[in-house]
């Protein structure tokens, strides 16, 4: 009976293991995530209704293809007319600007009028060169901003790594406080305490080195003083290196044993 129960337990464990493996096989995280997205975008269609789902998928794919064609045509147009790309970018950033006013302002910035650009090939070339310069400046500014953002993130990460005992709130307070000092300094406002702290920071390494040297000298002096200190009554406590030192107690020389002959002659005298 006991053996039968043991066999049943083994069979149950095996079945549970097989079910766990099957669940792992059936797990489809991508499908589940896509199903959720589908439900958000297509609340009028049941995801499990394959025919309806594929019908909507065809519509989405057709729309995507048309959009790609449109985007390519727009890219080609911007490549051919640089000023259009600049205008589109600035209008996206400032949608309230009138496109015609922007075009007039753009020409005036380069000491040209719209009519001059239309009538004169030289004016067109001049404006084209200005457009190229403007695009380059915009690209440089974007690259610089990206580098600045990356450097700021690296600096923030370095601060957190250097102060693991600080909470995120303390790190944020320190971070903002530092940049407040920088902002004030850019406006010519620097407190005396800030300059003093900065001076201390500049000499920090030298101060640490001096403190270590002073500590080492103090330790050596202490060691010397301990070594020359008066020994105790017990000679066993006398440092062996100072056994013959000036401060060591004078040792009595053991009496030399007289020879037998010398003793006799001394007695005769």
Per-residue pLDDT tens digits of the chain, which is 269 residues long: 555 555 555 655 666 665 555 555 566 888 888 888 888 888 888 888 888 888 988 999 999 999 999 989 888 888 887 778 888 888 888 888 888 888 888 888 878 788 887 788 888 788 878 888 888 888 888 899 999 999 999 999 998 999 999 898 988 998 998 888 888 888 888 888 888 887 877 776 665 666 676 666 666 666 666 655 555 444 455 455 444 444 445 555 555 554 444 444 444 44
pLDDT at 261: 41
pLDDT at 153: 92
Question: Quick one: the chain helix, strand, coil %, rounded to 5?
Answer: 80, 0, 20
pLDDT at 151: 93
- Distance, in Å, from the CA atom of 54 to the CA atom of 47, rounded to the nearest integer, reads 9
- Distance, in Å, from the CA atom of 56 to the CA atom of 132, rounded to the nearest integer, reads 44
Residue 242 backbone phi and psi in degrees, to 5: -110, 15
- Distance, in Å, from the CA atom of 106 to the CA atom of 119, rounded to the nearest integer, reads 17
pLDDT at 8: 53
Q: Structure tokens of 155?
A: 């600096």
Distances 68 to 61, 74, 75, 121 between C-alpha atoms, Å: 11, 10, 10, 34
pLDDT at 219: 64
pLDDT at 19: 59
pLDDT at 15: 62
pTM, entire model = 0.41
Q: Structure tokens of 68?
A: 């790609």
Domain parsing of the chain, residue ranges: 40-80
How many Cα atoms within 13 Å fall on the side-chain side of residue 120? 12
pLDDT at 65: 93
pLDDT at 1: 54
pLDDT at 260: 41
């Amino acid at each position: 009976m006991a053996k039968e129960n043991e066999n049943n337990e083994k069979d149950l464990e095996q079945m549970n293991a097989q079910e766990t493996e099957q669940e792992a096989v059936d797990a489809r995280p991508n499908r589940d995530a896509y199903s959720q997205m589908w439900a958000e975008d297509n609340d009028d269609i049941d995801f499990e209704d394959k025919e309806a789902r594929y019908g909507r998928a065809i519509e989405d794919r057709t729309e995507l293809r048309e959009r790609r064609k449109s985007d390519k045509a727009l890219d080609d147009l911007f490549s051919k007319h640089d000023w259009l790309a600049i205008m589109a970018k600035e209008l996206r950033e400032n949608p309230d600007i009138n496109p015609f006013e922007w075009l007039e302002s753009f020409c005036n910035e380069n000491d040209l009028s719209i009519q001059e650009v239309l009538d004169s090939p030289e004016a067109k070339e001049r404006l084209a060169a200005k457009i190229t310069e403007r695009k380059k400046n915009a690209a440089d500014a974007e690259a610089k901003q990206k580098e600045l953002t990356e450097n700021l993130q690296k600096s923030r990460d370095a601060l957190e790594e250097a102060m693991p005992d600080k909470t995120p709130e303390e790190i944020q307070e320190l971070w903002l406080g530092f940049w407040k000092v920088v902002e004030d300094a850019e406006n010519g406002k620097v407190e005396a305490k800030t300059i003093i702290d900065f001076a201390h920071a500049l000499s920090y390494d030298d101060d640490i080195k001096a403190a270590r040297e002073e500590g080492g000298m103090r330790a050596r002096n202490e060691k010397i003083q301990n070594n020359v200190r008066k020994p105790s009554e017990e000679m066993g406590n006398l440092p062996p290196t100072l056994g013959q030192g000036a401060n060591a107690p004078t040792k009595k020389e053991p009496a030399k044993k007289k020879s037998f002959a010398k003793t006799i002659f001394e007695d005769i005298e």
